[in-house]
Structure 1
Amino acid sequence: MALSRIWSAFIIVAIVVAGIKCFFFGQSDIFNWMVVGKADDAANPLKMDGVIETCWTAVNICLKLIGIMALFMGFMSIAERAGGIRLLSRIISPFFSRLFPEIPKGHPATGHMVMNFSANLLGLDNAATPFGLKAMESLQELNKDKETASNAQIMFLCLHASGLTLIPVSIIAVRASLNAANPTDIFIPCMIGTFITTMAAMLIVSYKQKIRVFQPVIMAWVLGISAAIMMLVLYLNTLSADGLQSFSGILSNGLILLIFLLIILGAVYKKINVFEAFVEGARGGFETSVKIIPYLVGMLIAISLLRTSGTFELIISGFKYVFTALGTDTRFIDGIPTALIKPLSGSGARGMMINTMTTHGVDSFAGRLSATLQGSTDTTFYIIAVYYGAISVRNTRYSVGAMLLADLVGIIAGIFLAYFFFG
């Protein structure tokens, strides 16, 4: 119900804002812009397409997802038959059994979630989505009310949406292409920012679900993972931009191939019909990809209307007016649009980040802040639409509120980190 109200509010607000612009400010072409759209305008990344183009975009996303989903879901099916997912579940169960008390020990959902978190950590978006959707399907098997999100699904999705990523390769690549003096100088702020967002998501949902976070087992796992990440961050910080991208490529792509190899070897050892298992899993990936099309179309249309109507620009202008009136340091406001758009549109946020860098300078405070914020949050509403749509959950309960609150913590942390590192 909450998501339904938010979606309705997006459409109503966008059309009302467009109507005011049309009838009171003489912008007579705004309705045509909202429906049909225009060519991509690099100077204004908030306006790229109308609802018709957005429908095509949503379907194209799902069509491209079919092949990726078929590939990874096929290998997941092999791993399940060979017992690999259950083995991974048993290894991580001491931690997950406390954070996800509703999941039985050794259940495959635990292994699927670990695979998703690992892929996210390495920035493997193509792999993270199939693993995440498989995790949601596994959790749905345990869900008594199939149309209402369970506690475990909410916890998983909020942690997933926090977007914990070790190496923000795409952001570093953009900065390098714009001739930044040191393209990797946003690496540590991004890493710390996304880690804070993840911890905030865990604490927020744990508080809501009355989970005691400060248990010895949970704290040991969190501190251990934090220490491992910090050591890797310290090593990666010694690498150049080219060295970092090379290391990232070897680590991420090499890990995918290693996983494939281990799955096949395990299946052969267990005498599994490998190809049959792959085809069965791939068929499920195809069905899931097609199933999410209506949900993705609906959410992207609402977001498109907000962008093309000028609602985003109005909100950003309001922020500038308020903080200027308060007499505070307003340097951060030029980098804020990226964070405001990120929960709604990944491509829009990326466009705004590039626009901020080209307008104010790639090495300016605003440019670095926008890069930090781009790496500290994730596309909340896209994730909600795809993941809940895949399992036909209609009542998302407090999922959206928890994710947005975690995003807000990430934005505030990103601003403080930018002032600390780039002053």
Structure 2
Amino acid sequence: MVLNIIWLIFFFGAFVACMVQWLAFGDTGIFNKAIMGAFDMSKTAFEIAIGLTGILSLWLGILKIGEKAGAVQILARIVQPLFTRLFPEIPKGHPVVGTMLMNISANMLGLDNAATPMGLQAMKQLQELNPNEDKSVASDSQILFLVLNASGLTLIPVSIMTYRAQLGAANPSDVFLPILLATFFSTIAGIIAVSFFQKIKLRDPVTLAWIGGLTAVVVATLAYFSRLTADAIGVSSLFISGIVLFGIIVAFLALAVYKKVQAYEAFVEGAKEGFHTAVMVIPYLVAILVGVAVFRASGAMDLLMNGISWVLGCFGIGNDVVPALPTAFMKPLSGSGARGMMIDAMKTLGPDSFAGRLSCMFQGAADTTFYIIAVYFGSVGVKKTRHAVTCALIADAVGVIAAIAIAYLFFPPN
């Protein structure tokens, strides 16, 4: 229901924006611009889905090897104490726990190409456990898993630092610590929001111990990387990401050999699922990305930013934040769109300006919420998202607020 309303708002809002630009500014081409934006994005959405096919086939094949060899079950047993409390619908020892863990780990390392296939496989397994009679209704476990993905917890934002270096930032890695802090707050907010709707007891000693331990890991990671130069951070992050990912593949294969599992046959079996999943995603992906494209091409996003600037001015809040806000508003809608907004802010105002740095923090503080909802839920036919959108947007909002507060702390404007 919520996603349907938001999707309709994209189009109605775009039409109103087009009418305003036509009647007030005489722009007769704005309607055609919006339509062309829809056509171009529908093509892009299809290309994205087709591009996912190979990646999905690869990682679903690897996951199938791990599942048959027992690696996924081993991972599941490790995190079982925490997941039993956060995901009470999941039976003890179910392999989906391991798949979810690998997805979350890949996201934290910034490995999007690996995280998405693992996430889609986890969502498929969660759909098999969906207790609702109507399987188009999202389960509690699916919602929490999606919100964890949408909150975008990332330890090492390599791509953002790379863009900053290319645009001439004096210290491209100066946003590393602020981004990690902002995305951490976003993730915690998402968990708390879901726990409110689903009555999850976060004050359980085991849950507190796990969250405290993860917090300690984040702090230790910050302490280590904060001492490195920008070049050293890039080298170290790529090394860690690469060795972890390749290590998982080799570990799965080694375990398959030990358990006498036919790895090649298992890989092919899992890879076949990649094509079917990619095809399933196409209509959902086209729907959400076309809505975003029309809203953006119509100028509605610009009108929204101008309105926000006026509202902030009424409360005596300066316009330091406003130039970076397009990135914040675009991030839940489109990853590439938000990336473009971030680059535009750095090019226009400078990578070391307050708005330039803040736009980078917005880019790293959360993930593409509506894209994730469309792809993850669409891949299993879930249409009734319940409180998923609400909780994900709460996480996004907290990430934005945290990013602004942290930016003023780390990079106070002149």
The TM-score range, normalised by the shorter chain, is over 0.9
Counterpart for residue 355 of structure 2: 366
How far the C-alpha of 1:401 sits from its partner, in A, is: 1.0
Report the 3-state secondary structure (helix = DSSP H, G, I; strand = E; otherwise coil) of the residue aligned with 1:213.
coil
Separation in 2 of the partners of 1:325 and 1:118? 43
Paired residue for 1:236, among 225, 235, 258? 225
2:27 aligned with 1:14, yes or no? Answer: no
How far the C-alpha of 1:23 sits from its partner, in A, is: 3.2
How far the C-alpha of 1:317 sits from its partner, in A, is: 0.3
The one-character-per-residue Cα deviations of 1:351-400 (angstroms, maximum 9, x if unpaired) are 11111111111111111111111110111110010000000001001111
In structure 1, give the amino acid aligned to 2:175: I
Q: How many residues align?
A: 410
Separation in 1 of the partners of 2:398 and 2:263? 45
Separation in 2 of the partners of 1:136 and 1:260? 21
Counterpart for residue 42 of structure 2: 55
Report the 3-state secondary structure (helix = DSSP H, G, I; strand = E; otherwise coil) of the residue aligned with 1:397.
coil
Separation in 2 of the partners of 1:4 and 1:324? 32
The one-character-per-residue Cα deviations of 1:6-54 (angstroms, maximum 9, x if unpaired) are 2122111112221232234211011111122xxxxxxxxxxxxx11111
2:76 aligned with 1:120, yes or no? Answer: no
The one-character-per-residue Cα deviations of 1:205-256 (angstroms, maximum 9, x if unpaired) are 0011011101110111111111112112211111111111111111111111
Counterpart for residue 291 of structure 1: 280
2:380 aligned with 1:380, yes or no? Answer: no
Paired residue for 1:307, among 290, 296, 305? 296
In structure 2, give the amino acid aligned to 1:273: Q
TM-score (norm: length of structure 2): 0.98
Counterpart for residue 39 of structure 1: none
2:172 aligned with 1:183, yes or no? Answer: yes
Separation in 2 of the partners of 1:86 and 1:407? 32
Paired residue for 1:401, among 360, 385, 390? 390
Separation in 2 of the partners of 1:263 and 1:74? 11
Quote the sequence identity (%): 49
Separation in 1 of the partners of 2:46 and 2:252? 31
Report the 3-state secondary structure (helix = DSSP H, G, I; strand = E; otherwise coil) of the residue aligned with 1:106.
coil
2:261 aligned with 1:261, yes or no? Answer: no
In structure 2, give the amino acid aligned to 1:19: M
Gaps of 5+ in 2: none
How far the C-alpha of 1:112 sits from its partner, in A, is: 0.8
In structure 1, give the amino acid aligned to 2:230: A
Counterparts of residues 108-147 of structure 1 (less than 5 Å)? 108-145=95-132, 146-147=135-136
In structure 2, give the amino acid aligned to 1:103: I
Separation in 2 of the partners of 1:312 and 1:406? 21
Separation in 2 of the partners of 1:258 and 1:410? 32
Counterpart for residue 27 of structure 2: 27
Separation in 1 of the partners of 2:240 and 2:46? 31
Separation in 1 of the partners of 2:78 and 2:189? 25
Counterpart for residue 197 of structure 1: 186
Report the 3-state secondary structure (helix = DSSP H, G, I; strand = E; otherwise coil) of the residue aligned with 2:21.
helix
The one-character-per-residue Cα deviations of 1:55-110 (angstroms, maximum 9, x if unpaired) are 11001111111010000000100111111111111111001000111111111111
Paired residue for 1:226, among 189, 210, 215? 215
Report the 3-state secondary structure (helix = DSSP H, G, I; strand = E; otherwise coil) of the residue aligned with 1:331.
coil
Separation in 2 of the partners of 1:12 and 1:334? 25
Separation in 2 of the partners of 1:12 and 1:367? 31
Paired residue for 2:74, among 87, 98, 101? 87
In structure 2, give the amino acid aligned to 1:206: S
CA RMSD of aligned residues (A): 0.9
Report the 3-state secondary structure (helix = DSSP H, G, I; strand = E; otherwise coil) of the residue aligned with 2:321.
helix
The one-character-per-residue Cα deviations of 1:263-304 (angstroms, maximum 9, x if unpaired) are 000001111111111001000011101110010001111000
Separation in 1 of the partners of 2:131 and 2:191? 23
Paired residue for 2:330, among 341, 345, 358? 341
Counterpart for residue 67 of structure 1: 54
Paired residue for 2:195, among 206, 226, 232? 206
Counterpart for residue 263 of structure 2: 274
Separation in 1 of the partners of 2:296 and 2:105? 33
2:147 aligned with 1:158, yes or no? Answer: yes
TM-score (norm: length of structure 1): 0.95
How far the C-alpha of 1:3 sits from its partner, in A, is: 1.3
Separation in 2 of the partners of 1:10 and 1:245? 38
Separation in 2 of the partners of 1:367 and 1:302? 27
How far the C-alpha of 1:410 sits from its partner, in A, is: 0.7
Separation in 1 of the partners of 2:124 and 2:151? 20
How far the C-alpha of 1:328 sits from its partner, in A, is: 2.0
In structure 2, give the amino acid aligned to 1:80: E
Counterpart for residue 84 of structure 2: 97
Separation in 2 of the partners of 1:94 and 1:244? 33
Separation in 2 of the partners of 1:391 and 1:169? 31
Report the 3-state secondary structure (helix = DSSP H, G, I; strand = E; otherwise coil) of the residue aligned with 1:271.
coil
Separation in 2 of the partners of 1:9 and 1:175? 34
Separation in 2 of the partners of 1:295 and 1:136? 15
